[in-house]
A = this chain, B = another copy of it.
Amino acid sequence: MREFLKTKGFKMTAQRELIFRSFFEMDKHVSVDELYDKIRAIDNSVGYSTVWRNLKLICKVGLAEEVNLGDGVTRYDPVTKVPHGHLYCLECKELVEFDVARVIDFLSVVAGDRDFTPEGYKIEIQGFCSKCQKARQKLAENKTTN
């Protein structure tokens, strides 16, 4: 990692190492706040802006992407080998990935047809995960019976 960053003209620091390591250890799409909390639990001298800047840096060097779900919070998604879409639960905010290779095949044709040069794709399904959906149904039943 140190070498990788050096080739891009960035230095390695203790904070940066901690932030990078922690980011890739989390198995979900974290917000700045979430990662900051995790970092602070380990070293409470690290500043919020340092966490923020390093998340931005991770994106800049191509190791993650920002994800905007429209709830006002930016999340960071580690770039995996396979392009993927998101199942986003409107209730518990859980984010699950799924493969979108086939969708992207289709979308690149759409883009080509319109002389559009694609740089990235965003494919999201918003709704309710099975757990939250069950809870909602139970709630709805209670409402009608009362």
A111's contact among B68, B107, B119, B127, by CB below 8 Å, is which?
A: B127
Chain A, interface SS category: strand
A126's contact among B118, B130, B133, by CB below 8 Å, is which?
A: B118
The contact size tier of chain A is 35 or more
Write the A8-45 contact mask toward B (1 if CB under 8 angstroms, else 0): 00000000000000000000000000000000000000
**Contact of A98 with B by CB under 8 A:** yes
Copies held by the complex = 2
Identify the closest chain B residue to A71 (Cβ). Answer: B68
CB-CB under 8 A from A68, the residues of chain B are: 68-70
**Contact of A117 with B by CB under 8 A:** yes
Write the A108-121 contact mask toward B (1 if CB under 8 angstroms, else 0): 00110011111111
Assembly CA distance A106 to B104 (angstroms): 12
Identify the closest chain B residue to A102 (Cβ). Answer: B106
A107's contact among B74, B103, B116, B128, by CB below 8 Å, is which?
A: B103
Q: Which residues of A contact B (CB under 8 A)?
A: 66, 68-70, 74, 85, 87, 89-90, 96, 98, 102-103, 106-107, 110-111, 114-130, 133
